[in-house]
Chains A and B, each alone.
Chain A
Amino acid sequence: MFFDRTSSIVVIALFACAVAGYFIPDWIMNQLMFGFARALAVLGLLVLWRTGLISFGHAFYFGLGAYTVALLDINLGVSDVFLRLVGAVLVSGVIGWIVGFVLRNYRDIFFAMLSLALSMVLYGIIVKTEALGSTDGFSISAPTFFGFAPDGKYPLFVFICVVCAICAVAVQMYLNSTLGWMTTAIRDNEVRVEYLGLSVANAVHVKYVLSAVLAGAAGCLMAMALGQVDPDSMVNWTASGELVFITILSGPGSVIAPFIGSVVFELLRTYAFEWAPHAWQLIVGGTLLTIILFLPGGVWSVIEKVVGKKS
């Protein structure tokens, strides 16, 4: 019941990626790694978007996760991946839970704006604080696994695949639970949901904390994959915009979509940058507009159509 077809596909596909990672060239593995790490944050946004909420400040949690890793590393010398992940998840989860009490009552543009304001507050603090690395950020020491310090990035890649698989299955389970089914109901008519005896505020709060945790984990994985953290690509509003962009690109159709969407985004950005260094934003922005105008269901809707025709 909980482990349905989508979950199986995710687990098998990510397992295949993890195995394939051993054989493919490093640069492809890097692309996949960045793509998967970011996909977790997108997964969180997808959970929100299904209710019609778009957070224009999710880089807040992404940045919290990344900076938790950096600060743990620099101040306490924590290099263990599991400890780092737990730390990032705890910090973003707790802060998300507290902030959630306010944000759960907000909808539409107000939700987007308040999230934006919060992320910019964090950005403002980081950029102006020397102890937090200011505009330069930090570089992070290589991750270790229970004391082992392996060469190369392959073990980290496997770790990211495993975390992604667990999170995707967990989100799929959540979406199939009563709380998850309320998602679309809330988007369609909040008053009716309340009449059914369910608390909309609570449901949104759970959703928000879930998305905060996912974004925090994503930030943590991204920080380790990149080996550094910096405010402009992780906390600034453009980073939030990027995450929302990937969400739109992926489409809300399935928990698989964010993984495909963010790898597509990563490739799109790399190739656009290589092909036209002064026009890559143009290409990315143009893609976003095209998708909004002509493909509201995102990349996933195309896949669904193709696969649907075959079966």
Chain B
Amino acid sequence: METFITNLLNGLQYSSYLVIVSVGLTIIFGVMKILNVAHGSFYAWGAYTSAFFIGKFSDMGWPDAFGFVIIFASAIAVGLVLGFIIERGLLRFMYGRDEVVIILATFGLFLVLEDVILLVFGVDPYFAYQPMAYLESVEVGGITRDVYGLSLILVSTLVAAGCWYGLNRTKWGNILKAVIFDREMSVSMGINVPMVYTVTFIGGTALGALGGAYIAPTVSVAPGLGGEVIVLSFAVVVIGGMGSIPGALIGSILIGLLRAISVHEFPQIELFVIFAVMAVVLVFRPEGLFAPAKVRKI
């Protein structure tokens, strides 16, 4: 029973951070048809920014709880700054090129951003334990868990619910869906598609950064952070169906639980199992488990 709860909570915690990151990735893909490798860098940027400022403000004697404000502020800041610069300054010139060529461009961007992080923040790791220490720990079913990890589940649920609400219950959501469905038609209906693209990219970037910013207090923020998460969120997005938000949710939960169980039971297959599932899904249902099958060449 305790093993079960541990696995479940570990899995859900892991899924939660995957959800936040992959929802950003999948929204960007759905709207702009860009499979963004640089998303891993946004994650790393979020982690570095929040870890850096949490450390700074804590040194200045601000209360530990202020860390939570910093986490969200840095995610939004990274989204606004990086998202805006990259979309307006680079990606805008790529629309209309092959999807695969755009992946390569974002791969180039990924390499660039990885090093800009090092140039800005240096090579030494950062530790921003304050928010985690502030929330202390709690006992769940006989197991001591830190509340911070559990709060991650709450945040990701809020993010997912917010995305769902935004997409299905607001005017903005309708506009987005229109653009996803038919870009040309939306333009002729008077939708400012370039603006929609910019806003979507900023939003997606902010979500990627939020994933990193929120995970920062639980890990040592060190170089190479983004490389691992990007392939994992690729797996999530592919399993759930590229461009589908519920898909990203289910994909994250599946991968999170699989990983938690395999880490606990058979640590040798931890990485293998995730990508094996990804390959199997691609072989038998290339459009993903939850995306509606589209008439398109696979």
Residues of A within 8 A of B (CB): 52, 54, 56, 102, 105-110, 112-114, 116-118, 120-121, 123-125, 127-129, 237-238, 241, 244-245, 248, 278-282, 284-289, 292-293
Contact = CB atoms under 8 A, between A and B. Distances in A.
A292 B112 CA distance: 14
B104 A248 contact: yes
A109 B235 CA distance: 13
Given A108-B98, A124-B269, A245-B104, 20 more contacts: A54-B100, A109-B35, A109-B242, A110-B298, A113-B234, A113-B238, A123-B275, A124-B270, A279-B118, A280-B115, A281-B112, A281-B115, A282-B114, A282-B116, A285-B110, A285-B113, A288-B105, A293-B93, A293-B94, A293-B105
Contact of B278 (A117, A238, A248): A117
Interface-centre pick from B35, B107, B234 (highest chain A CB count, 10 A):
B107
Interface in B94-127: 94, 98-101, 103-105, 107-116, 118-119, 123
Given A280-B115, A282-B112, A118 B279 contact: yes
Given A114-B283, A285-B115, A128 B272 contact: yes
A107 B103 contact: no
| 10 cross-chain pairs, A with B, having the tightest CB-CB distances, nearest first | A285-B111, A124-B271, A288-B108, A124-B272, A282-B115, A285-B112, A120-B275, A117-B279, A289-B108, A117-B278
Contact of B282 (A113, A123, A285, A287): A113
A127 B228 CA distance: 13
B90 interface: yes
Q: Is the interface of A mostly helix, strand, loop or mixed?
A: helix
A237 B268 contact: no
Contacts of B154: none
A92 B269 CA distance: 23
B267 interface: yes
Nearest to B90: A289
A110 B282 contact: yes
B143 interface: no
A120 B112 contact: no
A281 B103 contact: no
B90 A128 contact: no
Contact of B279 (A107, A108, A114, A248): A114
A286 B108 contact: yes
Given A121-B275, A124-B269, A109 B108 contact: no
A111 to B, nearest CB: 8
Contacts of A124: 269-276
A105 B286 CA distance: 11
19 contacts: A54-B100, A54-B104, A110-B282, A112-B103, A113-B35, A113-B282, A116-B234, A117-B238, A120-B271, A124-B276, A125-B272, A128-B270, A241-B107, A244-B104, A248-B104, A282-B115, A284-B111, A285-B108, A285-B114
Contacts of B116: 282
B81 interface: no
B169 interface: no
A13 to B, nearest CB: 28
A127 to B, nearest CB: 6
Given A278-B115, A292-B101, A285 B109 contact: yes
Contacts of A108: 98-100, 297-298
Contacts of A278: 115, 118-119, 123
Contacts of A128: 267-272
Contacts of A125: 272
Nearest to B37: A241
B283 A102 contact: yes
Contacts of B94: 292-293
Contacts of B110: 285
B298 A288 contact: no
Contacts of B276: 121, 124
Given A117-B275, A118-B279, A286 B112 contact: yes
A287 B269 CA distance: 37
